């Protein structure tokens, strides 16, 4: 019985000591934490937008965000809130000025940042594009998304209606008069093509350029009708471009 009582007392003592020991205090969170900027990948042309990656707790007011960008020991940008960078390796120093509990404070961090470039499109990639030059119901040309995937770039361009282009072509034709018959003939051909597209239900035309890079460095030009590829050319094809493309190029 004594052993049982002693064992009970010992257990109670251990329990009491466990209860009385205070739990270790958790470290207070930092008012501001500068997190690492993730490496980025871009299309085969263009730049990546880089901004400070900052996390703050409540009651913190950010007064200033500033980045200094270096490459090869040379300062490229200084005290910028955001910067566009081409492919390459950089050293980024981020400085944050903030106010917390009535006091002005600062934090900074330095990191290495890599901007990767996607593979450049080639002439062979351009040749894989499927076009429907007459907007025939029997042929389905590549979509804008498919062309972007094949050329590894979103490209950039303009959207317009056949009526808008027709009005500009007619005005240009009147302006030319009889002075440049070869241009007038080209305009007539483009007008005929546009009217034929209108008759087939085309209500939206899109003109996109895919800027080249790398050794071949091709620039690709594409025209879409209702989201379907009508034609695509690179720099070497400009002499054989469609009448619509040539007319639109002339208008620019």
150-176 pLDDT per residue, tens: 888 888 889 999 999 999 998 888 887
Q: Please say if the pLDDT value at position 96 is more than 70.
A: yes
- Are 216 and 236 within 8 A, CB to CB? no
| The total number of structural domains that make up the chain | 2
153 and 97 share a domain? no
**Does residue 135 form part of some domain?**
yes
Percent pLDDT > 70 in the chain is: 80
109 and 224 share a domain? no
**Tokens encoding 162:** 């056949």
223 and 160 share a domain? yes
> Of 183 and 1, which is predicted with more confidence?
183
Report the pLDDT value the prediction gives residue 213, as an integer from 0 to 100. Answer: 72
**Tokens encoding 171:** 């005005």
127 and 110 share a domain? no
Report the pLDDT value the prediction gives residue 19, as an integer from 0 to 100. Answer: 45
109 and 145 share a domain? no
Q: Please say if the pLDDT value at position 113 is more than 50.
A: yes
Boundary (domain end) residue, out of 89, 117, 145: 117
**Tokens encoding 242:** 């469609």
pLDDT band at 80 (very low <50, low <70, confident <90, very high): very high
**What is the rounded CA–CA span in Å between residue 225 and residue 140?**
11
Task: Return left, alpha or beta for 31; rule: phi > 0 is left, psi -120 to 50 is alpha, else beta.
Answer: alpha
41 and 106 share a domain? yes
Q: Please say if the pLDDT value at position 30 is more than 80.
A: yes
Average pLDDT over the chain reads 83
């Amino acid at each position: 019985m004594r052993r049982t009582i002693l064992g009970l007392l010992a257990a109670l003592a251990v329990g009491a000591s466990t209860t009385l020991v205070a739990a270790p205090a958790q470290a207070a969170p930092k008012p501001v934490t500068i997190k690492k900027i993730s490496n980025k990948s871009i299309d085969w042309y263009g730049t990546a937008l880089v901004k400070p990656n900052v996390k703050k707790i409540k009651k913190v007011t950010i007064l200033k965000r500033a980045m200094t960008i270096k490459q090869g020991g040379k300062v490229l940008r200084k005290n910028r809130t955001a910067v566009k960078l081409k492919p390459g390796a950089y050293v980024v120093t981020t400085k944050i000025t903030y106010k917390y509990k009535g006091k002005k404070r600062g934090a900074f961090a330095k990191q290495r940042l890599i901007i990767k470039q996607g593979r450049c499109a080639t002439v062979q990639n351009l040749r894989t594009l499927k076009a429907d030059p007459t907007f025939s119901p029997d042929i389905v040309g590549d979509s804008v998304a498919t062309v972007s995937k094949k050329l590894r770039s979103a490209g950039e361009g303009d959207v317009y209606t056949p009526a808008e282009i027709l009005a500009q072509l007619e005005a240009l034709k009147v302006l030319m008069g009889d002075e440049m018959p070869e241009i007038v003939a080209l305009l007539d051909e483009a007008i005929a093509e546009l009217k034929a597209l209108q008759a087939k239900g085309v209500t939206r035309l899109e003109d996109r350029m895919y800027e080249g890079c790398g050794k071949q460095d091709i620039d690709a030009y594409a025209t879409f009708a209702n989201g379907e590829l009508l034609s695509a050319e690179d720099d070497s094809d400009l002499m054989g471009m469609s009448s619509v493309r040539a007319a639109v190029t002339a208008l620019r």
